[in-house]
């Protein structure tokens, strides 16, 4: 388990669950459910613009400091990724933290988005894996509680399938796992990043509320 992308990389024989609750993997879960065809993560704004030149029909998506990057088609709000906007489209995605986590899992055999909005579906999707790494996006290379808490929720959900979490990071995550939907909502809204986003305005408070929901989706697509 990686509590931040800077903690390591995922091997080619491993499956990865990539987690950025606020907001990348929550948003991309909405996008994929709305019919987006694929996601190409970009480490930087310039890398994203270069990828757009290589894929001219792609949508340029991402944020810095929570806000949509000037000149980009979409930001990082679940509400933006509606079927009429993203169906059949490639998304070049450059968020501050989530893109780094996806890139840390670039060599993985598969990448599954981890989000509370699809938590049980994520657990079902990886229950048959025997080499699984959870990659938390964290915050600017460091720890954030909402990603670790989701990781703990997932590890607990996978326990009946025979998963045995390894390492101090996994034990910490298990101790942070919320027990139910009310605890998920309270923890995400009360997290440092949840409070930061909420302070940006009403549309960001709505994003936090959306990302705090448990099991909106009953299936999940790989990134």
DSSP string, 125-180: HHTT-SSEEEEE--BTTB--HHHHHHHHHHHHHHGGGT----HHHHHHHHHH--SS
The answer to whether residue 162 scores a pLDDT higher than 90 is no
3-state SS class at 5: helix
Beta-bridged to residue 16, according to DSSP, are 111, 133
Residue 153, in any domain of the structure: yes
Can you tell me the mean pLDDT for 151-178? 92
Structure confidence by residue, pLDDT tens digits, 37-55: 999 999 999 999 999 999 9
Give 176-213 pLDDT, tens digit per residue. 999 999 999 999 999 999 999 999 999 999 999 999 99
Classify residue 216: in a domain, yes or no.
no
Q: Is pLDDT above 90 for 114?
A: yes
Of all residues in the chain, the percent with pLDDT exceeding 70 is 100
Q: What is the residue-averaged pLDDT of the chain?
A: 96
Q: How confident is the model at residue 130 (pLDDT cuts 50, 70, 90)?
A: confident
Here the CATH number for the domain that contains residue 117 is: 3.90.1560.10
Res 93: pLDDT? 98
Please state whether beta strands 59-64 and 67-68 pair in parallel, antiparallel, or not at all (unpaired): antiparallel
Q: Is the pLDDT of residue 163 over 90?
A: no
pTM: 0.95
Let me know if residue 107 belongs to a domain.
Answer: yes
Would you say residue 74 lies in a domain?
yes
Per-residue pLDDT at 165:
80
Instruction: Give the chain's domain count.
Output: 1
Residue 222 placed within a domain? no
Dihedral over alpha carbons 218, 223, 213, 80 (to 10 degrees): -110
Dihedral sign for Cα atoms in the order 5, 19, 17, 185? positive
The burial of 127, by beta-carbon neighbours within 10 Å (0-12 exposed, 13-18 middle, 19 or more buried), is given as middle
Residue 13 has pLDDT above 90, yes or no: yes
Q: Is 154 within a domain?
A: yes
Q: Is a pLDDT exceeding 90 seen at residue 5?
A: yes
Distance linking the first and last C-alpha atoms of the chain: 18
- Tell me the β-bridge partners of 44: none
Range from 152-156, 158-162, 171-175 carrying the lowest mean pLDDT: 158-162
| Residue-range definition of the domain harbouring residue 147 | 5-211
Give residue 161's pLDDT band: very low, low, confident or very high (50, 70, 90): confident
Region of residue 41 (phi > 0: left; psi between -120 and 50: alpha; otherwise: beta): beta
At residue 89, φ and ψ (nearest 5 deg) are -100, 145
In sequence order, what are the residues at sequence separation of 6 or more whose Cβ sits closer than 8 angstroms to the Cβ of residue 159?
Answer: none
Mean pLDDT for 3-7 is 93
Examine the pLDDT at 164 and tell me if it is beyond 90.
no
Q: Is residue 43 part of a domain?
A: yes
For the record, the structure tokens of 7 come out as 């903690």
pLDDT digits (tens, 9 = 90+) for 19-38: 999 999 999 999 999 999 99
What pLDDT score was predicted for residue 199? 97
- Please state, in angstroms and rounded to a whole number, the distance separating the CA atoms of residues 189 and 81: 22
């Amino acid at each position: 388990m990686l509590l931040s992308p800077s903690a390591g990389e995922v091997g080619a024989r491993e499956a990865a669950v990539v987690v950025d609750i606020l907001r990348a993997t929550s948003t991309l879960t909405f996008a994929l459910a709305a019919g987006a065809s694929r996601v190409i993560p970009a480490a930087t704004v310039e890398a994203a613009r270069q990828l757009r030149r290589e894929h001219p029909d792609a949508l340029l998506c991402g944020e810095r400091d929570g806000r949509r990057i000037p000149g980009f088609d979409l930001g990082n709000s679940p509400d933006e990724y509606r079927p009429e906007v993203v169906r059949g489209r490639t998304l070049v995605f450059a968020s501050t933290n989530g893109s780094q986590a996806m890139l840390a899992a670039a060599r993985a055999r598969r990448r599954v988005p981890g989000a509370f909005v699809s938590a049980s579906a994520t657990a079902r999707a990886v229950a048959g894996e025997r080499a699984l790494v959870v990659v938390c996006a964290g915050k600017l290379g460091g720890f954030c509680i909402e990603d670790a808490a989701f990781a703990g929720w997932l590890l607990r959900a996978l326990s009946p399938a025979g998963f045995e979490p390894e390492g101090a990071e996994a034990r910490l995550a298990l101790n942070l796992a919320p027990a139910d939907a009310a605890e998920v909502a309270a923890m995400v809204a009360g997290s440092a990043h949840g409070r930061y986003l909420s302070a940006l305005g009403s549309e960001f408070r709505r994003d936090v509320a959306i990302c705090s929901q448990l099991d909106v989706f009953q299936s999940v697509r790989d990134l």
